[in-house]
Structure 1
Amino acid sequence: MKLLIVNHRDPFHPKAGGAERDLLETFSRLVKKGVDVYWLSEDVGRGPGEVSGIHLIRRGNPLTLHFRSLLEATKFDLVFDSVAHAVPFLSNLVNRCTVAKIHHVHQQVLRYELPPHLAVPVAWAERLSRFYKRVIVPSRSTGEEAVRTLKVRPERITVIPEGIDHSSYTPGEKSDEPFILWLHRMKRYKNPLHAIEVFRLAKGRGLRGVKLVVAGGGDLESQVREEAKRVEGVEVLGRVGEERKRELLRRAWLFMSTSFIEGWGLSVLEANASGTPAVGYRVGSLGEIIVEGVNGYTVPYGDLNKMADLLVNLFNDQRRLRAMWSSAYLESLKYDWEKTAEMYHEFIERLECIK
């Protein structure tokens, strides 16, 4: 069976992120199960032609890829359209055996990231996802949002949670100097400035001897660096490599998420697998992933005061915080890429449309 993934970026794209990680981890394991996997993405003029047994095809740019994908999709037995950047590829128009992977629903995020004259047509285009007969989502909340805002029929949706590489993300010795870690892409919907403001509020309420480390690259990095200068105890690292990322996750005492939306909270699970509990907004999948008092805590979206109080309470009760280091790791064991890949394999084997 020849399977095609259509996604704007491949793992070697300079802006590759969580969606690319998910696809690589899942489909490289399907290769080992005998599936012949190809990956179509934009041509940015870099990277080898294969990764982990997946054949990489590079064509066009962010716009023309949508047309080129229709030509490529006709050559395969099964196509997975990765709707990672809102506008679906609609390979189902030319290949009846097409599955859409909706990583998260972008409708509300678009107003954060795009000017109105672009946000409106892109939001309209995303609603074309309703025409896929088969849709995979990583969480119940993403499925519910797809039904509510994209009008995808619920019987067409399959929930397959994403996993964790437990060989890469492991618990380790914590930093002697306690620190809270915020590690995400610095995009508006990730709200990096919220993290700095929460930390400022917590310091004003008695948080002492704790740093906030902010890591990640993106559009807001310069603004974040300027804001950090106004709050003592904030360190901005910018973009970090994978090895440094894993070290930070292990050494941190607590992880913070301030995203507006989380189709799947991979960063939270990576922190948990590293023995680090998380605090975050109760949005999207985080309400499913975070078990209160076990691997973290959640607060209502935008409630900076409540999150600040939570930080103060946790660091004033370090016995409770330290106990969560082990319980967060144990909770993360529910998720594993091998389990995810097996669920995908079972899903594929049930498809009646494959030639």
Structure 2
Amino acid sequence: MHLAGGTVDGLRVAVVNWRDPWHPAAGGAERYAWELARRLAARGARVRYVTCRAPRRGGDGRRGERGRKRVDGVRFARMGGRFTVYPLVLAWMAARLRPFDVVIDCQNGIPFFTPLALPRRVPVFCVVHHVHDAQFGLYFPAWLARLGRFLEGPVSRWVYRRHAFVVVSPSTLRAVRDRLGWDGPTYVVPNGAVTPAPTQVDGLPERGDPELVCVTRLVPHKRTRRLLDLAEGLVARYPGMRVNIVGDGPERAALAAEVASRGLGDTVTLHGYVSEDVKTALVARADLHLSASQGEGWGLSVIEAAAHGVPTVAYDVDGLRDAVRDGVTGWLAAPDEPLTDTVERALKELDDPLRREQVADACRQWASAFDWERTTDRMARLLTAAVHRGTAATKDKRALVVDLGDGSLQVVEGPVRDLLLGGDTAVQVLRTATPLERLLGHPLPEPEDGSP
């Protein structure tokens, strides 16, 4: 078995996710699941994407699920709605005569609990983007929020006890330990990034001074109203400032009404759902990208903005503190403070052309560390090693830096590490990987002065 490449040819893989990438409410979790699914299929895996049904067309005119059952080599199985998809997926899996070789079970607040419907020998990786305990109360009545927290915590700990979690960032790794009480094996496989080249898009206004952008879903935990507070606080100092909010969601109508009532119509534009070309153009021309979210698993929009040399101002909260390197690729504000002071400080720094270029270069370099093909490499290695060993679990929670015997160094964890160390005496363990090395998936040079 060639672990360095994670050969998945012929492997039967189920990717189970709440929504498909064409769902009107699709977000980062759907992007992650789909990028993995289609790339695994391109490498020869037999991939099923199992998900719920969605409207043919959302309220914003976005097309919902595709009619085709196969896209880019991935076969789709769609069933049920927002809540009924969970029992229907379990029934569908239990009824299959030929089970999958391995399952990627994506948790969007509540996982699918697929181990209950699978033979014990089938490895399961439960993908957790971020812990939802604090968010259930924003969307559901108290009794349903309590049920959500019970399913996300104690029930998940029991159902996946013989399997493993995959998380997308150091923040989520800490959160599943501290807030969910998960003490089982957990591996880090981050998001990748795709950077479309900026294009000239007709209809956009001439660039103002300054220009800010936020790419987000308009839902409660993204706290988009704080961007209106920001605009209100800075418009007197920067009369030509523009704040472009890109994305849609259930809060759009209320936000539009508030923009009008505050008299911010000339400053704040709610673009709604736009094409990739328009989104890319709005991000690439901005001075700053913004996030007011109360917490993320990572910050995919942060990395995609950084790929264009655009830094981000966000709160120092889970996920965003990993995606934004404070003072290097952006600026982090204290969670209980308005963004106004931090944005104003960032704009003052960026007034210096040398500082602006320094930040832009750092952003592009940081974004280049994340790529969907490398993400797929890491997941593929975990999948193939788990199938070979017959389990996704491990007794050793560490990620290690190892010498593969030919002088090349690699960060390995979970079944990949166990398989390497158990079968090749030439492999030498050098040290435990740092959190940053674990995120990036490769060793970093150690400082000559011995400092961390």
TM over 0.5: yes
Note the 1:252-271 alignment, pairs <5 A: 252-271=286-305
Instruction: State the partner residue of 1:92.
Output: 115
Partner of 1:50: 70
Q: Give per-residue Cα distances to partners, 1:33-78, cap 9 Å, x unaligned.
A: 2211101111236412122211111122222221222233342121
Alignment correspondent of 2:172: 142
Q: Could you say which residue in structure 1 is the equivalent of 2:30?
A: 20
Per-residue CA deviation, residues 171-197 of structure 1 (Å, 9 max, x unaligned), is 999963231002200101000001110
Alignment-derived partner of residue 156 in structure 1: 185
SS at match of 1:55: strand
1:353 — aligned with what?
A: 390
2:282 maps to amino acid: L
- State the shift of 1:211 in Å: 1.2
Q: Distance in 2 between matches of 1:171 and 1:256?
A: 21
Mean CA deviation greater in 222-231 or 295-304 = 222-231
Residue type of the alignment partner of 2:74: I
User: Secondary structure of the residue that 1:57 maps to in structure 2?
Assistant: strand
Aligned counterpart for 1:82 among listed residues 94, 98, 106? 106
Q: Does 1:130 align with 2:157?
A: yes
* The one of 21, 24, 32 aligned to 2:42: 32
Aligned residue number for residue 435 of structure 2 = none
5+ long unaligned stretches in structure 1: none
Counterpart Cα distance in 1 of 2:198 and 2:134 = 34
Paired residues of 1:4 and 1:40 also in contact (CA < 8 A): yes
CA deviation after TM superposition for structure 1 residue 22, in Å: 0.8
Amino acid at match of 1:91: T
SS at match of 2:235: helix
**SS at 1:219 equivalent:** coil
The 1:324/1:105 distance shift into structure 2, 3 A limit, reads: same
Instruction: Indicate conservation of the 8 Å contact 2:125/2:165, yes or no.
Output: yes
Q: What is the CA-CA distance between 1:316 and the residue it aligns to?
A: 3.1
Alignment deviations for residues 169-224 of structure 1 (CA, whole Å, 9 cap, x no partner): 669999632310022001010000011102222335x3343211122111111121
Check if 1:120 corresponds to 2:150.
Answer: no
SS of 2:230 mapped into structure 1: helix
Cα distance in 1 for residues equivalent to 2:176 and 2:227? 28
SS in 2 for 1:145: helix
**2:367 maps to 1:332:** yes
Question: Alpha carbons of 1:171 and 1:241: their partners in 2 closer, same or farther (altered >3 Å)?
Answer: closer
1:181 maps to 2:208 = no
1:6 offset after TM fit, Å? 1.2
Does the Cα contact within 8 Å between 2:198 and 2:277 map onto a contact in 1? no
1:38 match: secondary structure: strand
The 8 Å contact of residues 169 and 270 in structure 1, kept in 2 or not, is answered as no
User: How far apart are the structure 2 equivalents of 1:172 and 1:252?
Assistant: 14
Determine which of 274, 288, 293 is the counterpart of 2:308. 274
Q: How many residues align?
A: 349
Instruction: Indicate the residue corresponding to 2:127 in structure 1.
Output: 101
Bigger shift: residues 254-263 or 56-65: 56-65
Residue 313 of structure 1 deviates from its aligned partner by: 2.5
1:250 aligns with 2:276: no
Q: Could you say which residue in structure 2 is the equivalent of 1:64?
A: 84
Please give the secondary structure, in 1, of the residue aligned with 2:38: helix
Question: What is residue 450 of structure 2 aligned with on the other side?
Answer: none
Q: How does 1:192-203 map to 2 (within 5 A)?
A: 192-203=224-235
The aligned amino acid for 1:34 is G
Tell me the TM-score normalised to structure 2 length: 0.73
Structure 2 CA distance, aligned partners of 1:354 and 1:265? Answer: 30
- Structure 1 residue 112: Cα displacement: 1.7
Structure 2 match to 1:213: 244
Q: CA deviation at 1:135?
A: 0.6
Q: Distance in 2 between matches of 1:116 and 1:169?
A: 45
> Is the contact between residue 199 and residue 281 of structure 2 (CA under 8 Å) also seen in structure 1?
no
Equivalent residue, structure 2, for 1:316: 348
Change (3 A) 1:19 1:7: same
Give CA deviations for 1:257-308 in whole Å, capped at 9, x if unaligned: 000111010011111112211000011121122112221111111310xx21
| Identical amino acids, percent of aligned pairs | 27
Maintained 8 Å contact 1:107/1:123: yes
Match of 2:419 in 1: none
Highest Rg: 1 or 2? 2
| Contact 1:171–1:273 (8 Å) recurs in 2 | no
CA root-mean-square deviation? 2.2
The 2-side partners of 1:252 and 1:323 are apart by 16
| Structure 2 match to 1:4 | 14
- Normalization by structure 1: what TM-score? 0.92
Contact 1:138 1:159 in 2 (8 A): yes
SS in 1 for 2:271: strand
- Would you say 1:224 and 2:250 are equivalent positions? no
**In structure 1, what is the Cα distance between the partners aligned to 2:200 and 2:286?**
10
Q: Does the residue aligned with 2:327 lie in a helix, a strand or coil?
A: coil
